[in-house]
Structure 1
Amino acid sequence: MKLSYAITGALLAGSLAFTAQAHNHKSKADIVDTAVAAGSFTTLVTAVQAADLVDTLKGEGPFTVFAPNDDAFAKIPAADLNALVADKAALTNVLTYHVVAGKVMASDVVNLTSATTVQGQDLAIEVKYGKVFVNGAEVVATDIETSNGVIHVIDTVVMPSSSY
C-alpha cells in the first residue's frame, strides 16, 4: 500500500510538471523529471527507481513512454504490485514494455496498429470510438513533450506476455 501511495504521489507530481511545462517555453525537463513534477506518476517513478531505469530514461533518447498514471497502478492488487516491485527482472520487463524507441507523437500513433517496445514485444494499438488504446489501455493524455522524448498517459498498466 505504501508503494502504491508513493507511486501515486510521483505520478501526481508528474501531472503537475506536465502542466508547468506547457506554460514554460524554456528548456524542457527529461522524461523522469517531467513525471516527478506532474505528481500523478508517483508509483511509476518509484518503480523506475526500483528497476534502476532512471539513468536510462534521463538519457538522450528519444523515447516514447506510454506512462500508466497512479490510478492505473491502483488497479493492481497491492500484493501483486509489491511482488512485482520486489522482482527487479520482472519489473524491468514490465516497465520497458511501456517504452518505444523514438519520438512517436499522437498524430503518428493513430496511424499505427502496433509498436515494438524496447522490451522487445509489440504493443497493439487500436483506434475505436474516437479513442486510442494500447493493449486495451486507454490513452488519456497525449503529447507531453520532454527534452528526450514524449509521454502519453494510459489508464492501465499493460503487461507483456511473459512478465513474471
Structure 2
Amino acid sequence: MNVRHFLKLGLAALALATGLAGCGGGDDDDPPAANQGNIAEVAKAQGFNALLAAAAKAGIANTLTDANAQLTVFAPTDQAFTDLAKRLGFADATAMVNALPPAALQSILTYHVLGTKKLSADLAAGGATQATAYSFENAPARLNFDFTSGVKITDAALTSATVVTANVPASNGVIHAVDKVLIPPGVLNLVQMAQANPLFSSLVAAVVAADLQGTLSGSGPFTVFAPTDAAFAAAPSNLSTAQLRTVLTYHVLPSQVLSTQIPFGTPVATVSGQSLVFTSGTPPTIRDTTAVQARISAVDVRASNGVIHVIDKVLIPAL
C-alpha cells in the first residue's frame, strides 16, 4: 500500500459559503483563493471531521498544506464515513478509523486525491477515467466519472459517489465534497469489499450464516463469483447450513483468477471440490449443475486477498 499525501488542521475563511454549488454544478471560473486557507484548513472549517481524523491517523497530514501544491480532493462528508463504518460492522466512523491500519487509511485517502487542481469544468474535460494519487500494482489507480447529471464517481468496489458540493476553493487546490467514501482496489479484503457494496447484502448475510467470513477475510488469494441480491432472491432458500456452505464455496476458486485468466471451456475446480465450466461470449457465462447459466456482469473487483467477479445467478452445485 502506498504512502501519499494528505491533510493538516487549521482555520479557513467562512465567506466562501455563498459561492459554493451543489450536486456537482457551480461556477466553473477559477474562484479566487488568495485569501483562502490551504486544503486542510478549509476542510476543518467545512466540518470534514472524520476525514481529518483519518488523515491524522494515516500520518500524512503535511502535503496538503504545501503552498506549491495544486490538488483536487474529493472529500467524503462525516455521514459518508459513518455509512461506510456501519457497512463494515463498526459502530461509527471513529471506531472504523481507530481500527483500520494507517497504511490502509493512507491508501483510501490518496484515492480521493488528484495530482492537479480540477474544477468541475476541468473534471468534465478530463474524461471518463482519471488517475488518482494512489498507486496499485505500479500504476495510478483510476476513478470513473459520469457527468450526465452533476458529477458521479464510481470506485473500485463498483459503488458510486455524488459530488454534493463542488469547487470549494483553497489556496493550494480545490475540494469537491462527496456523499460516499471511495473504495480503492487492493486495500479491503474480499468480505469487506462485498460489505461496502449494497448489491451484495444477501451474499454477505449468507457468508456470515455459513461462518465463512473468517476464511474469505484470510490471506487467500481467492476468486469469488459474487451473486447480486437479485440473484439470491431467485435462488433456493431452504438450505441447511452445510448445504449453504457447499453452495458458497462452489462460488470460490482457491487462487486469484483475473478476467483475462479465466480458462474457458475447461472444468475448473472450486473450493467446494466441484467444478465449473466457463463459456466465452458477451457476456461470458458459467455453467453449473442446472440448465440456466450465470452471466458474468462485471469483473476484476480487486481486494487485498483476491478478486471478485459479479454474476447474475446463484450457482447451484450437487447437494
- TM-score calculated relative to the size of structure 1: 0.78
Q: Is the 8 A contact 1:16 1:38 kept in 2?
A: no
- For residues 79-127 of structure 1, the C-alpha deviation after alignment (integer angstroms, 9 at most, x for no partner) is x41x22xx11000000000000110000011545331100001101111
Distance 1:17 1:48, change over 3 A: farther
In the TM superposition, what is the alpha-carbon distance from 1:138 to its structure 2 partner? 0.2
What is the DSSP-based 3-state SS (H/G/I as helix, E as strand, rest coil) of the residue aligned with 1:65?
Answer: strand
Question: Which of 248, 255, 279 is the equivalent residue of 1:95?
Answer: 248
In the TM superposition, what is the alpha-carbon distance from 1:31 to its structure 2 partner? 0.3
Aligned residues between the structures = 143
Question: Which of 299, 310, 314 is the equivalent residue of 1:153?
Answer: 310
Q: Is the 8 A contact 1:16 1:40 kept in 2?
A: no
Greater relative contact order structure (CA < 8 Å, 6+ sep):
1
Question: Which of 154, 157, 174 is the equivalent residue of 1:18?
Answer: 157
Q: CA RMSD in A?
A: 2.6
Question: Which of 254, 258, 283 is the equivalent residue of 1:131?
Answer: 283
In the TM superposition, what is the alpha-carbon distance from 1:34 to its structure 2 partner? 0.3
Q: Is the 8 A contact 1:17 1:39 kept in 2?
A: no
* Larger helix share, 1 or 2: 1
In the TM superposition, what is the alpha-carbon distance from 1:58 to its structure 2 partner? 0.1
Question: Which of 141, 147, 153 is the equivalent residue of 2:298?
Answer: 141
Question: Structure 1 stretches of 5 or more lacking a match?
Answer: 1-12
Question: Which of 190, 207, 216 is the equivalent residue of 1:48?
Answer: 207
Q: Is the 8 A contact 2:264 2:277 kept in 1?
A: no
Q: Is the 8 A contact 1:94 1:159 kept in 2?
A: yes
Q: Which runs of at least 4 in structure 1 moved beyond 3 Å after TM superposition?
A: 13-17, 23-27
Aligned to 2:195: 36
Q: Is the 8 A contact 1:114 1:125 kept in 2?
A: yes
Distance 1:25 1:95, change over 3 A: closer
Aligned to 2:27: none
Q: Is the 8 A contact 1:65 1:99 kept in 2?
A: yes
Query: Percent same amino acid at aligned positions?
Result: 41
Which one has a bigger Cα radius of gyration?
2
Tell me the distance in 2 between the aligned counterparts of 1:39 and 1:33: 11
In the TM superposition, what is the alpha-carbon distance from 1:28 to its structure 2 partner? 1.1
The one-letter code matched in structure 1 to 2:219 is: E
- For residues 23-80 of structure 1, the C-alpha deviation after alignment (integer angstroms, 9 at most, x for no partner) is 555751000000000111111100000000000000000000001010111112xxx4
Distance 1:115 1:26, change over 3 A: closer
Q: Is the 8 A contact 2:225 2:310 kept in 1?
A: yes
